[in-house]
């Protein structure tokens, strides 16, 4: 079980690094993806459910990570906010993502992309 949790956290870190590259080199595409959040029932509930997988892995692997309190806190935060999102009407979730996509201009995606990459790399570092 711990091996699966570790692999999931590593995959999550790789995912965050890839998202960082998308934000850096294809910021308009990142905005398009953000606009789709919550747009359909399938997308809404899939993204929430999929988000709980690395969250659970963070909680499970926390005792073996380099920063157990951080992993535990982040994992539980992601789980709780995911559970809350299950009960937020999809239209509100989608409206929020549309507003955020309007605010976050392509340049802003490029400016925050290193943080996504750094965070992904940090997660990987903490489990290897």
The domain limits of the chain are 2-127
Neighbours of 14 (CB within 10 A): 14
**Secondary structure in 3-state letters for 70-87:** HHHHHHHHHHHHHHHHHH
Tens place of pLDDT for every residue, the chain, 128 residues? 999 999 999 999 999 999 999 999 999 999 999 999 999 999 999 999 999 999 999 999 999 999 999 999 999 999 999 999 999 999 999 999 999 999 999 999 999 999 999 999 999 999 99
Distance CA 86, CA 18 (A): 26
Q: How many C-alpha atoms does 118 have within 13 Å on its Cβ side?
A: 5
């Amino acid at each position: 079980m711990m091996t699966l949790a570790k692999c999931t956290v590593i995959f999550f870190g790789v995912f965050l690094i890839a998202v960082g590259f998308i934000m850096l080199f294809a910021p308009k595409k990142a905005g398009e993806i953000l606009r789709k959040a919550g747009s359909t029932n399938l997308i809404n509930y899939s993204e929430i459910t999929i988000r709980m997988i690395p969250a659970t892995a963070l909680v499970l692997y926390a005792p073996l990570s380099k920063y157990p309190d951080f992993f535990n806190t982040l994992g539980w935060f992601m789980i709780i906010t995911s559970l809350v999102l299950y009960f937020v009407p999809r239209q509100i979730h989608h409206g929020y993502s549309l507003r955020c996509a309007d605010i976050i201009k392509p340049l802003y995606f490029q400016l925050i992309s290193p943080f996504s990459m750094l965070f992904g790399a940090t997660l990987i570092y903490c489990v290897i």
